[in-house]
Structure 1
């Protein structure tokens, strides 16, 4: 009788052992086997090609670690992204590289090893890559950003000359009066006016937002960045109809430009004016009208102006500025040297433009407002920011998308700029930094 008992005892022990092993194996599998369950999820991939640089963005649900290096002959950028598995969203990056991309020939993606995906960018020329991450902000989750800048960037003026958008020599004539009622003519000197100067007038037009930063979004789905670029291009064409006016756009396509870089661009071409173009939004769809803003050193002229400046100044966070790459010295100059003279000239320019805009749209405020807009802080350039209308208002959103309204808005701003110059002829300029 003892033998069956012993057999039963061994059977029970074996069963217990199998149960323990099975449980342990299940635990090990749950910890180590399903690596894909632990991997971060790529939510979207976006590519923003431009003459200045190409940006590639991977949006994901967690912060990613990367390692990147350059391989020569031919030029390639290799990026290893840790913590992800290759999936259809990341594979779609291959098809997003267009033949006209200035810097990327093609991209290859593959699973380099478990939990590590390798991206290989075949390049058209030597680049200076900037790879950085962005914390969640606005509608975006974590972003991994690759900015590919040319090692030898073109001089901005030389690039415009090459495109036929920039004349080298200033004309000998002066600007004609913008409207018949301005007398005496612009070319006629006056005792209380600055000396007459025959030279080119350079205007920097700054279409707000772009690329990763759509700006305000209308209820009908319109993006501020697209509307203001269209208006800026119309305004550029109108201004350049006059023989001694030339225009530089801080962006001429759908890509992101940091706020301080917009100011830098204006200073590099020695701009006489800086005009930033936007389309406002507010929580209430009933808000309407156009506005013009200048810089303030002493605080905002109203609560609404302060709110708007804070919103516009957040563009770098949403658009994805590489904070490590900011020129700290220049930022300090821009913050410290904004002068009273610049603000006074900006207010005169703003008033001239506001008066003209009032002829085509209701004014949200009847006077030029002031606040600490980062994009208006060039110390030596009269600068204004125009809110053309409220994109959050359905009626004004429709108007902003209308070709005729865009043309009238561009015409009004053009007239305002010319009236400003008629009363405030520019002085001769020496070389700026």
Structure 2
């Protein structure tokens, strides 16, 4: 009897220590496909690849057969065609059938916000060849090796001609450049942002408004919009500013919905960066919430050494602060024409996403998703159009005063004396225009 009781207790102890699979989600991003396992606790795992056909195998220790049903319900997205699973030596084996060879990268996430323990597996596709890039851009297939050989043959057959010595006088001019606006839709993927009582998610509203704003910007002569994300996937806060700089953006506009524990708060607001402190308790709370997005969205933070980069960014940030305030004031004035303003002045807080050292950057809180009246506005697609138009008006107002310039180097042709081998009638030199 005693042995039976001990055995029963041991079985209960095993059941208590086992890990459950609560959900499995697949997200399709532009650079990778993300697979997320929601777990009841921390556990170990291993990932490896197989070929013919291409597939990814993930073994998660301690998960029983109850996880098989949950795993098999997941649908494929991105490079993942199908998901299947089964028991394997005391672990749950999940097999991802993929459409092409991929490189997996996995990491565990500790509990945060609404999530418990998570295992995240990112699948990165191969880099496209030059032929594929040309075909994707032009729509025509090419054979770069054949073209290169043909070019070499032509060069070998062409008679050598002496190159004249040309003196070029470079001239540097300044001209107006196309205005590039980085439009950042907050949150995405694993990070829904704030959620209303009726289930409206900030990430969906932000993306809708960002797309509308980008379309309206692209419809203006001499203006171009670049979306930091154009789908339901997560991008790290630092990566958003990197994308803006890679696009040589002249302005960074991050679109969000406001939220607070006091549901009576409503209205639109505009924020710029503060290195010294927030302008209110709500601004401080909001910045902390937004800066935690990398933990919610699923970004591997361990082992990164960003301290020096962060210090350098902070030191050079002052140069764009004045311009950010100017942009923010214009946007706030435009927003006041379509909605109540939470604050009549531009607010400040330490938002990480605004820390671009050389780009005027603002964060727009379109309305409070936690307020019943504002939530009705945020559900209305017509309101999304109004928000986008008001933001465009503020952006255009700023660039009427601060049109970006670019340097253009021109090679100016000059008259120069050259000696010729042909007779010019005088047996001397002739003037030639070099170009």
**Same fold, judged at TM 0.5 (above):** yes
Structure-to-structure mapping, 1:122-271, within 5 angstroms: 122-152=97-127, 162=137, 197-271=175-249
CA deviation after TM superposition for structure 1 residue 212, in Å? 1.1
TM-superposed CA distance for 1:235, in Å, is 0.6
User: Could you say which residue in structure 2 is the equivalent of 1:15?
Assistant: none
Residue 43 (structure 1) aligned with residue 29 (structure 2): no
Q: Structure 2: any 5+ residue segments left out of the alignment?
A: 140-172, 409-435
Q: 1:105 aligns with which of 81, 85, 96?
A: 81
Show structure 1 runs of 4+ deviating over 6 A. Answer: none
Query: Residues of 2 paired with 1:127 and 1:324: CA distance?
Result: 23
1: CA distance, partners of 2:188 / 2:20: 26
2:433 corresponds in structure 1 to none
Q: Which residue among 253, 259, 264 is the counterpart of 1:286?
A: 264
Q: Tell me the C-alpha RMSD between the 2 structures.
A: 2.6
Q: Distance in 2 between matches of 1:283 and 1:162?
A: 49
Question: How far has the Cα of 1:25 moved from its partner?
Answer: 4.3
Give the paired residue count.
372
Q: Which residue of 2 aligns with 1:373?
A: 351
1:59 Cα offset (Å): 1.1
3-state SS of paired residue (1:353): helix
Taking a change above 3 Å as real, the CA distance of residues 333 and 92 of structure 1, as seen in their structure-2 partners, is: same
Q: Could you report, residue by residue, the CA deviation over 1:352-374 in whole angstroms, capped at 9, with x for unpaired residues?
A: 11111111111111111111110
Deviation of 1:27 (Å): 2.0
> What TM-score do the two structures reach when normalised by structure 2?
0.79
Q: SS of the residue aligned with 2:263? A: coil
Equivalent of 1:320 in 277, 298, 311: 298
In the TM superposition, what whole-angstrom CA distance separates every residue of 1:60-99 from its partner, at most 9, and x where no partner exists? 2110210111223433221110011122x5434334323x
Query: 1 or 2, which has the higher strand percentage?
Result: 2
SS at 2:322 equivalent: helix
- Paired residue for 1:341, among 319, 328, 341? 319
Separation of aligned partners in 2, 1:391 and 1:162: 41
Query: Which residue in the other structure is 1:397 paired with?
Result: 375
- SS of the residue 1:323 aligns to: coil
Conserved in 2, the CA contact under 8 Å of 1:209 and 1:225?
Answer: yes
User: What residue is the counterpart of 1:307 in the other structure?
Assistant: 285
Determine which of 8, 29, 36 is the counterpart of 1:57.
36
Question: CA contact under 8 A between 2:260 and 2:282: conserved in structure 1?
Answer: no
- 1-side partners of 2:333 and 2:129: how far apart? 39
SS in 1 for 2:176: coil
Q: 1:371 to 1:33 in 2, by over 3 A?
A: closer
1:273 to 247, 251, 268: 251
Change (3 A) 1:415 1:429: farther
Could you say which residue in structure 2 is the equivalent of 1:406?
384
Q: Partner of 1:56: helix, strand, or coil?
A: strand
For 2:357 and 2:240, how far apart are their aligned partners in 1? 13
1:33 Cα deviation (Å)? 9.0
Q: 1:306: Cα distance to partner?
A: 1.8
The separation in 2 between residues aligned to 1:330 and 1:353, in whole angstroms, is 33
Contact 2:269 2:343 in 1 (8 A): yes
Structure 1 segments unaligned to the other structure (5+ residues): 1-21, 165-194
* TM-score normalised per structure 1: 0.80
The 2-side partners of 1:94 and 1:198 are apart by 56
Deviation of the 1:125 alpha carbon: 2.2
